[in-house]
Amino acid sequence: MKMGNLNSGKRMYKVDQDFFKKWSPQMAYIFGFTCADGNIYHRTLAWELTNRHQSNKDLLERFRVTMLSNYPIEERKKSVRFRISNPVIISDIKILGVFPNKSKQILFPEVPDKYLCHFIRGFLDADGWIVAVIKKGGTKELSVGFCSGSKDFIDGLIIALKNCVGIVKFNLRKRLRKTKKGKNSITYQLDFYSDNAYQIIKFLYDNLTEEDLYLQRKFEKQLIARKFYEETKQNRLFGR
């Protein structure tokens, strides 16, 4: 186990500094999550999530355990944060394509096919959604979506989903929103419904093991979405 930095000269924190050197399902997931919601500042890699959901803190705790680290999960006023200060970790994640202020420029990385489901699930958990709703009249609708400030990243995600899931039609939308500072910001959004959404869910969540990483509340949403899909499919069959 490789050591991290000294904190105020009192405690030696540790982390597996070779974590991003070798592909694994866990590394691919955390890498995907980092592409969406990780931040680099000087020698620090950090993930900061809202504290409104216990599942966010639970996920960061799994990051900590998976990376063999004793860095603390920091409790803030409105968020929980996990930070690692290690030059090797920073160097390796930059080599993989994550860099400071990445949101508008990051490219879709080269991920081995066997790890793509984990990488994309990590990205979905950070910057995507699974929705299963009952609309007026009792109609059940499920959708899966992704968003990014980088058009190049979304274009790469489209290619990956074409190759791995077989989806051929993509609903790509360009969104303009105001930042907290009042500036215009463009994001790119992919939405999938019904059959395509179901195929993505199967690709990302089928055959998970106890060691695989996922955000618990989205895992539960995909279970509901599967149920909706099966019920809707049965209704379509009976309606013929």
- 198: its two tokens: 């179901």
- Contact in structure between 51 and 79 (CB atoms under 8 Å): yes
- Contact in structure between 144 and 192 (CB atoms under 8 Å): yes
- Contact in structure between 67 and 16 (CB atoms under 8 Å): yes
Residue-wise pLDDT tens digits, 148-158: 999 999 999 99
Residue-wise pLDDT tens digits, 120-144: 999 999 999 999 988 887 788 899 9
Look up the domain containing 163 and give its range. Answer: 3-239
pTM for this one? Answer: 0.91
- The rounded average pLDDT for each run of 10 residues, N- to C-terminus, in the chain (240 residues) is 48 92 98 96 94 97 98 96 96 96 93 98 97 85 95 97 94 83 86 96 96 98 94 64
* H or E segment and range at residue 221: helix 216-239
CATH for 159: 3.10.28.10
The mean pLDDT value of the chain amounts to 91
Which residues share a beta bridge with 168?
A: none
- 55: its two tokens: 């599942």
Overall number of domains in the chain: 1
Q: Residue 141's closest CA among 152, 133, 149?
A: 133
